[in-house]
A and B are shown apart, each in its own frame.
Chain A
């Protein structure tokens, strides 16, 4: 993709709205993938579709000096997902169960890498324990592969804030995960502890503002 194709398409769409469809064609799958990771596939259908409607409506706000619209779009999707905390909790619980199953089966199941016994089953709970703002920054970094600068653009915050949010999130993750990694064998029966932890510990909307 040429470096400024998104900027050109969005600029063109100000006078020829149909030019915006090219942005959809280029980025819908990526936005859907990230939303799917965060809120599950059903909600992702809605989030991704709504992301492009909002992007089109507010395309004059796009900074045409940016080489790609992907960070901007993921920022819009992130804002939309903040209204879907129930879906995200459900997805994190499902994610936790997947990891539990992976541990139980001793196989990677649907995850991209083999599980690490005693650590990965609590990963979802650890993520859920983060504040929404910290989790947004961290997951845009590790799952959406955005750079610090791109995250700053996506969330419209200073890059220093991105750095501090990711740093704080990593510290909290390590705190949450370290004791479990030292614990004995994972629980195999009854309600998975990870899933129940999410349900009981995170009933409140975690986003700041």
Chain B
């Protein structure tokens, strides 16, 4: 037995970390994550990416996705005067549509709680924008399609499949060629992640109580209280098992958020008709749109587009990300796919 083999076979005995230690560590990390998801910090990724080009390739990449951009799109559309109850008021048309969505939600049947071993399955598809710039070269952007599936339950699971990236404009392709056709954009593929145990949202169904709760959660995060609250509403609607009463309260809260505007009747990327509301982040210059089904109140889709003045130089209207929620079902395991989806 040589010395290395000896060391290997005589390694100190270990035991798995206690659950309590693991959860403490996870909670500490999640707190740090939550702190960074504040808009002030979230506006930094592109700048930081610029400063810290990856060691091996000397380029920087920043990517935006549907869900992610919802986190990023939270900054001050209004200054402190709004937080202090200043002159801005919720858009009347938007508020009316959201009140209607809340009323529809309350009429929906409550889903049965998940039985042991069951999972809430959600399938969505979307597109994310990736922008890359080699050192000293012009920026190039692509859209990458993806399919996202989540199984929420005791051992929640996420599967994402990314497709082939396509240049957003002919100029992006020209920039890529001028840069020597670098391999920046990754290959299509599938990733699977464990998401841990899903804990149903504990949201009040009283809209005033929920407004106060979301306001408290948003306070101190980011540069705009109301943008952050709109992001929280989106977070609580997507890929969650909200009850009809909770969903109604979320729409009522959105109806009271200054800066939310009515987009009107639209179709999502799969052609389903929906009602859209939006809020524009004046810091990132990204407009976040939520599309819901006026007949069921379910979130159908969301998308983010840049508006003029964004620091990345994207043309106004460029799609930053979108995600369309196609399937919701209860399945018997964290790998089962509803029959129609196979």
Contact = CB atoms under 8 A, between A and B. Distances in A.
B17 interface: yes
B202 interface: no
Interface string B12-44: 111111100110111011101100110000100
Interface stretch (B47-55, B77-85, B116-124): B47-55
Interface residues of A, number: 61
A17 B71 contact: yes
Contact of A143 (B1, B7, B48, B52): B7
Q: What secondary structure prevails in chain A residues at the interface with B?
A: helix
A64 B52 CA distance: 12
Given A2-B191, A52-B25, A28 B3 contact: no
B177 to A, nearest CB: 23
Contacts of B1: 116
Contacts, number: 170
A110 B194 CA distance: 32
Contact of A25 (B71, B191, B196): B196
Given A20-B33, A112-B9, A112-B11, A15 B4 contact: no
Interface stretch (A5-13, A77-85, A198-206): A5-13
Interface residues of B, number: 58
Interface stretch (B62-70, B212-220, B261-269): B62-70
A49 B18 CA distance: 12
B56 interface: yes
Interface in B232-249: none
Given A5-B191, A61-B52, A20 B29 contact: yes
A87 interface: no
25 contacts: A1-B192, A2-B191, A4-B186, A12-B63, A14-B49, A16-B68, A18-B30, A22-B193, A24-B26, A28-B22, A28-B26, A45-B21, A48-B17, A48-B21, A52-B25, A52-B29, A56-B33, A60-B48, A60-B51, A95-B12, A99-B10, A111-B11, A143-B8, A143-B11, A173-B3
Given A15-B65, A98-B12, 8 more contacts: A2-B192, A17-B33, A18-B71, A24-B25, A29-B17, A45-B17, A48-B25, A174-B3
Interface of A: 1-2, 4-5, 8-9, 11-12, 14-22, 24-26, 28-29, 32-33, 36-37, 41, 44-45, 48-49, 52-53, 56-57, 60-61, 63-65, 91, 95, 98-99, 110-113, 115-116, 119-120, 123, 138, 141-143, 170, 173-174, 177
